[in-house]
Chains A and B, each alone.
Chain A
Amino acid sequence: MQVSPKAVPYDIGVAKTNRGEPAHTSGLAIVVGNDALAQEVCRILAADGHDVTVIWGQDAPGLRRRIEECGGRFVDGDPRDPHVLFQAGAVPAGVLLALAEDDRINLEVALQAREANPGVRIVMRQYNRALARKLAENLTNCAVVSLAAHSAATYAAAAVDPECFLGIEFPTGSHELVGFSRRAPRELGVSGMRLIDAEHRLQCRILACDGDLRDRDRVLAPNDELTLFGRVERLSLAAMPLKKARRDVSWVATRIRLIASEFDPLLRVLVVAGAAVFVIATAYFGIALHLSPVTAAYFVTATMTTVGYGDIALADKGALSQIAGMLLMLAGLLIANLALAFVAAALIRAQWNALQGLRPIRQAGHIVVFGAGRVGTRVVDFLCELGATVAVVERTPAPELVARARLETSASLPGTARSMQRSSSATCGPPGARSSLPIATPPISKLLLAREHVAAISPSSCALPSRTSRR
């Protein structure tokens, strides 16, 4: 990606249609839906001068009031009913926006409206990507958009570059991400440079500097606010490389603390008790039987592991030694069997985790995604395409995601955690996560988990972009 260092005067035109006509800013628009998207679209269209009618017939308390506050008209009725569409003005309407959360309702409404008015332009929301692509190809004068696909680009871009405020998949369907970011020249090391020279060095487009869109010869001051555009990988290089590992002393200390915290408490007691019994028994038999420390340790080991060679016997060593020997045998039996049980359980757990795609992450700089629904899955796709190491925390992951995590041979998707109870190094990787991304509706549980994760493993460096239901 090369940026021409020559100064190019920007031609900031007015938005037009793809045929070159000026965009129309008025007309009747029918919106079908009852959620925040429908209300927000109603508000924007009304502000743009459209006459907006919102249709929804299912139980939605307060919807009429909210729509009227947005500047729209509300029609109460089933949007799939041709009579309701007619009453709402589907025949003269220029545009119908089917924005319900149900793909089937949107499709039915779109087809009804098209039948009533073949000239109506249709904008449809669809979750099913394959169906959306087919509809867009086969239904004339129709645009089909997935809310999840569109917003996932920004979440993924913000996870890679914390200063990115808008990400776009360009070209559509390519999984390539471009984005817009705001930074100061001092963060990028381009203070004092001319704007066009800074562009050349950063290999990113500088669209504006301190609110100025046109002065391309400007010299950058350290604290100017630059608005950058470029491929997300390039934007992120300004912050930190995708897989930059930070393994300093604090990283090692935190790693040790996390590993220690994951030991089963019973196993810890067992290890301590076994070591204590071994040391005390070695000391006792060394004194009682007049053995060297090595020979005493050999005798205690043989007894505790129930091997009992018989080369050192307690038959004629007195009652106290025999009682001590019996206690040692029982303690050895208990400790050895418990230890074997723990080893067997650990092996079974490892096998189960491998089947579930729960592979440990062994490098820093990874991204933890909390939630793998429609948006989260797309975010993971984008991040894997960017070459990022991703850990996904999801209580009920889709089978495809589990299969992908299990079969992935590269480090692109090394962990899929099913437990939402805690995010530890086993599920979310070692300290030094690049960012934690809580994506879910409602997000509060994921936010709590993500905050705990960030506080536990990388309190200072981990970016925490989030999905919210409100701006």
Chain B
Amino acid sequence: MIRRQFQIRRAFSATALASAMFCDLIRSSTARGRVNVAGKTFSLEERPSATESRDGVLLAAARDSSHPRQVTDWSEVGPDEVVLVMSERATGA
């Protein structure tokens, strides 16, 4: 209603943006929220590249607080980098 009344291009609720992340954080501190792509809900994780799990769609890598690089393959990621990974949720909310 507010979008229509005020001709707003996009309306975001801080609660809606963060609530899923709070739920994902109960299983892992690396959770960074959820995103809907192609009708599916994916969990986003920021984790060290050195972790064993290499599941999910690799999105970006960065060293310390440097600019993130877009990467598509684990071979492009250094051992001391952090990566952003998108994994399909087994159970969606």
Contacts and interface: CB of A to CB of B under 8 A. Distances in A.
A413 to B, nearest CB: 21
A143 B10 contact: no
Interface string A8-23: 1011111111111011
B13 A471 contact: yes
A229 B38 CA distance: 13
A342 to B, nearest CB: 37
Contact of B93 (A37, A44, A471): A44
Interface in A5-52: 6, 8, 10-20, 22-25, 29, 35-37, 40-41, 43-45, 47-49
Given A18-B51, A162-B9, A171-B65, A148 B14 contact: yes
Interface string B42-53: 011111000111
A37 B19 contact: yes
Given A12-B56, A176-B65, A465-B8, A230 B70 contact: yes
Contacts of A366: none
Given A40-B19, A207-B57, A158 B12 contact: yes
Contacts of B40: 213
A23 B90 contact: yes
Contact of A170 (B43, B46, B56, B93): B46
Interface stretch (A149-157, A300-308, A399-407): A149-157
A18 B13 contact: no
A451 B6 contact: yes
B16 to A, nearest CB: 5
Contact of B53 (A6, A18, A43, A463): A18
Given A173-B65, A470-B13, A211 B38 contact: yes
Q: Of residues A6, A35, A121, A171, which shows the largest number of chain B Cβ atoms within 10 Å of its Cβ?
A: A171
Interface in A132-189: 136, 142-143, 145, 147-148, 150-151, 154-155, 158, 162, 165-166, 168, 170-176, 178, 180
A114 to B, nearest CB: 15
A369 interface: no
B17 A150 contact: yes
B57 A11 contact: yes
B91 A466 contact: no
Contacts of A14: 55, 87-90
A123 interface: yes
Given A18-B30, A125-B22, A173-B65, A465 B44 contact: no
A97 interface: yes
Given A25-B91, A36-B15, A231 B68 contact: yes
A165 B72 contact: no
A166 B56 CA distance: 19
Interface in A386-443: 435, 443
Nearest to A31: B22
B6 A145 contact: no
Contacts of A97: 22, 26
A67 interface: no
Contact of B89 (A15, A166, A168, A174): A15
Contacts of A2: 69-70
Q: Of residues B30, B72, B86, which shows the largest number of chain A Cβ atoms within 10 Å of its Cβ?
A: B72
A204 B60 CA distance: 11
A337 interface: no
B14 A147 contact: yes
A55 interface: no
Nearest to B53: A20
Interface of B: 2-3, 6-33, 35, 37-40, 43-47, 51-57, 59-60, 62, 64-70, 72-73, 76, 82, 84, 86-91, 93
21 contacts: A1-B69, A13-B56, A15-B56, A15-B89, A17-B27, A18-B28, A18-B51, A43-B93, A97-B22, A123-B25, A165-B10, A168-B33, A168-B84, A171-B46, A174-B64, A203-B70, A204-B70, A212-B38, A230-B70, A465-B9, A467-B11
